[in-house]
């Protein structure tokens, strides 16, 4: 964990804010602290990178506020041997956080611009256990296998069966469920034997999931 005596003030406040808002998993806190959030946004937004606020990224998307990222990650309860699927790469920041906790991460994005930028950032920062795919996150190409954990970072009107089918026994899926312009609820689903145990968590607001690969951008 970063030594608070040497961390800059904004980084210290970032760490303190997560703890004050209830993030208690030490591994999640360490992962959040270790990933340089300022490297995942445009230079003009870097002064605000460590604040607990969402930030704009290209293609009309956003980088979620740190608390939401930490909360979703904590609810996944990732184990070191887990293989994780993320739907909605965005800047690649959340994938980088997940990579500090899991064995490997596959992250999927429909915008080519975001895919190329995320691949470059993750390679430069040496997050070697992250694979970035250009694909429709709700209709993955064959051959991806199944996953211990699935994280959906775009809003869907209902839980996609295509993703539930990729969830291993004992696996956990987190997704925001609800209309694009209305109230969404973050839902946690765990597969136990042949049963899916669904539990609502908190209200959230995410951009809506879109089908297919974007023709432009």
* Residue 49: closest CA among 34, 26, 65: 65
- Between CA 101 and CA 156, with CA 65 as vertex, the angle to 5 degrees is 85
Which residue blocks in the chain are alpha helix, DSSP H?
A: 9-20, 26-34, 66-76, 93-99, 112-124, 161-164
Clarify whether 64 is annotated catalytic.
Answer: yes
Please give the span between the terminal C-alpha atoms of the chain, in angstroms, as a whole number. 37
Q: Report the candidate in 198, 94, 202 with the shortest Cα–Cα distance to residue 152.
A: 94
Going 98 to 62 to 179 to 145, the CA torsion angle's sign is negative
- Residue recorded with tokens 């089918």: 165
Determine which one of 4, 24, 34, 64 is catalytic.
64
Q: Which residues are known to be catalytic?
A: 64
């Amino acid at each position: 964990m970063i030594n608070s005596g040497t961390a800059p003030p904004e980084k210290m406040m970032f760490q303190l804010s997560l703890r004050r808002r209830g993030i208690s998993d030490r591994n999640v806190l360490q992962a959040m602290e270790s990933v340089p959030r300022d490297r995942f946004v445009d230079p003009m937004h870097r002064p605000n990178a460590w604040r607990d606020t969402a930030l704009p990224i290209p293609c009309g998307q956003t980088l979620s506020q740190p608390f939401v990222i930490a909360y979703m990650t904590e609810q996944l309860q990732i184990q070191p041997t887990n293989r994780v699927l993320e739907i909605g790469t965005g800047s690649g920041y959340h994938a980088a956080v997940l990579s500090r906790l899991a064995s490997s991460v596959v992250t999927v994005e429909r915008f080519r611009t975001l895919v190329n930028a995320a691949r470059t950032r993750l390679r430069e920062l040496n997050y070697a256990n992250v694979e970035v795919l250009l694909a429709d996150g709700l209709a993955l190409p064959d051959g991806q296998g199944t996953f211990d954990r699935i994280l959906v970072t775009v809003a869907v009107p209902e839980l996609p069966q295509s993703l539930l089918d990729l969830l291993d026994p004992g696996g956990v899926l987190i997704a925001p469920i609800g209309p694009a312009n209305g109230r969404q609820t973050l839902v946690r689903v765990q597969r136990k034997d042949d049963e899916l145990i669904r539990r609502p968590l908190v209200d959230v607001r995410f951009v809506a999931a879109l089908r297919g690969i974007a023709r432009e951008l």
